[in-house]
Structure 1
Amino acid sequence: MPYTATHRSEAPTREQIDALDGLAVLEFGTGWCGHCQRAQPLIEQALGPRGDVAHIKVEDGPGRPLGRSFGVKLWPTLVFLRQGREVTRLVRPADAAAFAPAMQALDSAPAAG
């Protein structure tokens, strides 16, 4: 499941995220957030060709427990996961180059045992 254009209004639970199999990028933000809108072409460029990386795009805000469980403070925040475990994160990526180290960390992270 490559790049996803729209936010899920109903976020998965933390337990569902922790149980993920494989590689994933969990994106927190909103459709009206200017920073989120500006980052979309960068996110699509980084994730579009990666069919092996699930893109889970969730709407965040006050009272949203998934974002709080990851300590999200700014949007967009992208949490890179392997087997449901955080490998690295990007907060408000400014350019396409910001994704290279995050994708490399995702690819080289040891599988959870």
Structure 2
Amino acid sequence: MGKFLLAVVVMLSGSSLMAQQKQAEDAAAFEKDIQRPGIQVFDVRTAGEYNTGHLPDALQADFTKKEEFKDRVQYLDKQKPVYIYCLGGGRSSAAAKWMRENGFANVVELQGGINAWKQAGKPLQGVADNEVQLTIEEYNKAVGNKGLVLTDVGATWCPPCKQMEPILEKFFQQHKNVKKVKVDGGKDVDVMKAIRSSGLPTFIFYKDGKEIGRKQGVMELAELEKLSFPGLD
């Protein structure tokens, strides 16, 4: 019996060690695997680098900004595979090590990063093409209307923003009188500075052109409603 228990302990220890070991794939294998359902693709470069082109449907958090990284990574599912990359592999390797040590069951790195991806002739999404920013004048006009307006400062590549999508959808279904103004957290830099929004997501409510409430981060529907209707209990 003692030998059996010892064997089980050794086997479990070995499994745990294997789970912590580095897993990496070349561009061809990486591309094939991220097409499977349930895969989370994670870009740990800066927002500026991300906007020069990224892998399909990739979420983003800057690994060099520790607080931002830790805030966003908590919205990934630890039980689902995470396929991670950066420019050349250094940052993603460090980020993957941290994630494995903090409970992520399956983190796979892109060997050589996005540089290797490009060299293999693989396609990128979202290549910056001189998109026109939302101007401050346009923003002020949009939120200056009578009635309630909700400004949603977010981005498709932001994990907590993705977490908020179904909550926002339900909110607007239930409150059709509230107008939505979208500010792109990766593009509309001037507006973000003007409204003092530095984190994603940020939600700002206006009533008849006057700000009545704001909050950064993920909220439940009831909290979002209370923010928009301050008298709501």
Structure with a larger share of its residues in helix: 2
Normalising by structure 1, we get a TM-score of: 0.73
1:11 to 101, 117, 134: 134
Shift in Å, 1:28: 0.5
2:197 is the counterpart of 1:72:
yes
2:147 is the counterpart of 1:22:
yes
> Partner residue of 2:223?
98
The letter for the 2-side match of 1:11 is L
Unaligned runs of 5+ in 2: 1-131
Shift in Å, 1:79: 0.4
Percent sequence identity over matched residues? 19
Normalising by structure 2, we get a TM-score of: 0.38
Tell me the distance in 2 between the aligned counterparts of 1:19 and 1:103: 16
Q: Give SS of 1:32's match.
A: coil
Tell me the distance in 2 between the aligned counterparts of 1:83 and 1:10: 24
The letter for the 1-side match of 2:151 is L
Moved over 6 A (4+): none
Tell me the distance in 2 between the aligned counterparts of 1:39 and 1:25: 14
Q: Give SS of 1:99's match.
A: helix
> Partner residue of 1:61?
186
8 Å CA contact 1:10–1:58 kept in 2: the answer is no
1:33-82 deviation line (CA, Å, top 9, x unaligned): 11100111111112222111101112023761111111112111010011
Structure with a larger share of its residues in strand: 1
The number of residue pairs the alignment matches comes to 99
8 Å CA contact 1:28–1:76 kept in 2: the answer is yes
Unaligned runs of 5+ in 1: 1-8, 109-113
Larger Rg: 2
> Partner residue of 1:4?
none
Q: Which of structures 1 and 2 has the larger relative contact order (alpha carbons within 8 angstroms, sep 6+)?
A: 1
